[in-house]
Amino acid sequence: MPCSLVFARWRRGYADLLAYRTIAGLGLGAEFGIGMTLVAEAWPASQRARVSSYVGLGWQLGVLAAALLMPLLLPIIGWRGMFAIGLLPAVVSFFVRRRVEEPELFTERVARGMRKLPLKLLVADRRTMCASIGVTILCSVQNFGYYGLMIWLPSYLSKTFGYSLTKSGL
């Protein structure tokens, strides 16, 4: 029995895919930000830039692996199966996170009574508020551009040029 039949019981349609993708996007975004912060705090200052770039490269290698595996697996397991495979990094992340200790920098700050930094520091004065708004705009543009290419372009190629989803993904 093909795996796609196993997942056929799940609801179908664009709204469902949008809901699943939104949940996945929120989780990925949170995990990436937290992971990058842990890397930045856990490594010595002289190595932070290099290690942070490794984290970014890991993200891109994951995207490349997904793009290469998708044409092979999509006809067999369908988009729901691909979504299920996408849960594997989340499971790995869950177990890794449970074993990672708090960075020394964080524990020092807690010991000094700096338990949390209030979000109001992002808008403390005019200069800081402008920088915060600018970074928010830049991140939004980057995300819309990235996901526009990765998600909407294959659909456009499929509809406009008649490519199969697999061929447009490649």
Q: Tens digits of per-residue pLDDT, 57-105?
A: 888 888 788 878 888 888 898 878 887 888 888 888 888 888 888 777 7
Single out the residue of 163, 2, 144, 21 nearest to residue 81, CA to CA: 2
87 and 45, same domain (yes or no): yes
25 and 99, same domain (yes or no): yes
pLDDT recorded at residue 6: 45
6 and 64, same domain (yes or no): yes
pLDDT recorded at residue 130: 94
Check residues 148 and 161 and name the one with the higher pLDDT.
161
83 and 96, same domain (yes or no): yes
Other C-beta atoms lying within 10 Å of the C-beta of residue 116? 7
72 and 127, same domain (yes or no): no
27 and 71, same domain (yes or no): yes
pLDDT(1) > 50: no
Give the Å distances, CA to CA, from 94 to 27, 28, 88, 98, 133.
12, 12, 10, 6, 32
- The number of folded domains in the chain is 2
Q: Which amino acid is at 2?
A: P
Span 120-142, mean pLDDT? 90
Interval 41-54: pLDDT, tens: 878 888 888 988 88
50 and 133, same domain (yes or no): no
Residue that terminates a domain, selected from 71, 98, 116: 116
- 8 falls in which pLDDT band (50, 70, 90)? low
Range of the domain at 94: 1-116
**pTM summary value:** 0.56
Residues 6+ away with beta carbon under 8 Å from 61: none
Give the Å distances, CA to CA, from 32 to 122, 144, 165.
20, 17, 27
78 and 124, same domain (yes or no): no
* Beta carbons of 69 and 57 less than 8 angstroms apart: no
Using the structure block, give the residue that is written with the tokens 């915060």. 132
101 and 140, same domain (yes or no): no
